[in-house]
Amino acid sequence: MTPNTELGWGEHFDAAWQAIGCPVAHETPGRVSRVDRGWSTVMRSADDRSPLRVRNIGADVAVGDWVIVDDEAERVAYVLERKSAFVRRASYEGDRAEADVLAANIDVVVLVHALTAPPNQRRLERELVLAFDSGAQPVIALTKSDAAIDIEGTVRELAAVAAGVEVHVASGLTGDGVDTFRAMASSGRTLAFLGASGVGKSTLVNSLLGREEMATSSVRENDQRGRHTTVATQLLEVPGGGWLIDTPGFRAVSLWLSGRGIERAFRDVFDLMDDCRFRDCKHDQEPGCAVRAAVDNGTLDGARFTSLERLVAEEAALEAEQERRERLSDRRRGGRPAPDDSDRE
């Protein structure tokens, strides 16, 4: 039996499943719709009324993953290679860098901001880096259009740092502009909604579902901050096809090891850098610096350049830390090559 295409199964997963020899164990692969403290809820079909509840033990599972459950239906035995994933660095204690996978196997990452608060360009820039690195298509949703302060102004400011990504205005409350997202969710595709607490992710998700599935609650009067109402990420079916992943609002948009996310999110600035006279220009005091010139003549916002410099430094620090940890674990093994996974239990 082939896994369920309505659940979003497709070519990529077929190949990933074959690559590990098509193990079946309890059943063909299912999709994780929810993760709670080491337990996964696994759906076998789009209308699965009694999804499996299994332990994760040792498996790194995120909502949206395709997994194979062991023979006893007790735990996740395999997690199939992901097609895409939105990953940030977990809020950390000490200096251990850990990945926090907010959603896996998504087609579209919807970065949600509210039109009722001043535009936050710096946050959007960071979110875009992670979104480009996710492997999914990023889009931007500006919600609460019915109660907006200044729609045009906010769209203009955010579009200026959006690196060409589409910006859509919507209201989860009135349903205005919501059809755009419904169209994106067609035929088994998965949309993940990500953003700060209180921006209206769950309200938008409910509007798309046509039912009050997710709880919502009011933001704080004084600063418009949310109350972290959504506590567990969930995969939800849109009537008529497609899947939505509603996620808990997150505060820190910390970088995880990235591919070309920074270059893609700051393409305009990297294009300028190509025009600097010196290849090793630090964009500081050098003659013929195209970046400085653009800041001076007002075509590039100095704050955007500072933001890029911070992100580049953050990425470099993370890479250095990863290398240090790898060296450390090499030394613990006494310089011997790392044991094969199959040797470990």
* Footprint on this chain of Zn ion (rule: CB under 5 A): 276, 281, 283, 289, 291
Q: What is the 3-state secondary structure (H, E, C) of 174-219?
A: CCCCCHHHHHHCCCCCEEEEEECCCCCHHHHHHHHHCCCCCCCCCC
CB of 293 to Zn ion, least distance (A): 8
Complex with Zn ion: residue 162 or 289, whichever CB lies closer: 289
**Contact flag: residue 224 with ligand GTP (CB under 6 A):** no
CB of 119 to ligand GTP, least distance (A): 16
Residues 131-190 contacting ligand GTP, CB under 6 A: 143-144, 146-147, 171-173
Degrees to nearest 5, angle at CA 87 with 217 and 53: 70
**Contact flag: residue 230 with Mg ion (CB under 5 A):** yes
**Contact flag: residue 208 with ligand GTP (CB under 6 A):** no
Complex with ligand GTP: residue 83 or 126, whichever CB lies closer: 126
Beta-bridge partners for 34: 41, 234
Distance CA 162, CA 15 (A): 34
Instruction: Identify the residue whose tokens are 């660095």.
Output: 89
Per rule CB under 6 A, count of chain residues that contact ligand GTP: 25
**Stretches 142-150, 187-195, 227-235, 294-302: which one binds Mg ion (CB under 5 A)?**
227-235
CB distance 311 to 257 below 8 Å: no
Residue 296 is encoded by which pair of tokens? Answer: 């001076």
Interface residue with ligand GTP among 29, 138, 200, 261 (CB under 6 A) is 200
**Contact flag: residue 219 with ligand GTP (CB under 6 A):** yes
Instruction: Identify the residue whose tokens are 């949310």.
Output: 226
Interface residue with ligand GTP among 226, 244, 264, 311 (CB under 6 A) is 226
CB of 289 to ligand GTP, least distance (A): 41
**Contact flag: residue 197 with ligand GTP (CB under 6 A):** yes
Instruction: Identify the residue whose tokens are 């875009």.
Output: 128
CB of 132 to ligand GTP, least distance (A): 22
Complex with Mg ion: residue 67 or 196, whichever CB lies closer: 196
Give the one entry of Mg ion, ligand GTP, Zn ion, none that residue 291 binds, where binding means its C-beta sits below a cut-off of 5 to 8 angstroms depending on kind: Zn ion
Q: State how beta strands 137-143 and 108-114 pair.
A: parallel
Long-range own/partner contacts, residues 222-226 (CB < 8 A, 24 or more apart): 224/114, 224/116, 224/117, 224/198, 225/196, 225/197, 225/198, 226/196, 226/197, 226/198, 226/199
Give the one entry of ligand GTP, Zn ion, Mg ion, none that residue 56 binds, where binding means its C-beta sits below a cut-off of 5 to 8 angstroms depending on kind: none
Interface residue with ligand GTP among 248, 254, 310, 315 (CB under 6 A) is 248
Interface residue with ligand GTP among 34, 188, 229, 254 (CB under 6 A) is 229
Which residue ranges make up the site for ligand GTP (CB under 6 A)?
A: 143-144, 146-147, 171-173, 197-203, 216-219, 226-230, 248-249
Q: Which residues bind Mg ion (CB under 5 A)?
A: 201-202, 229-230
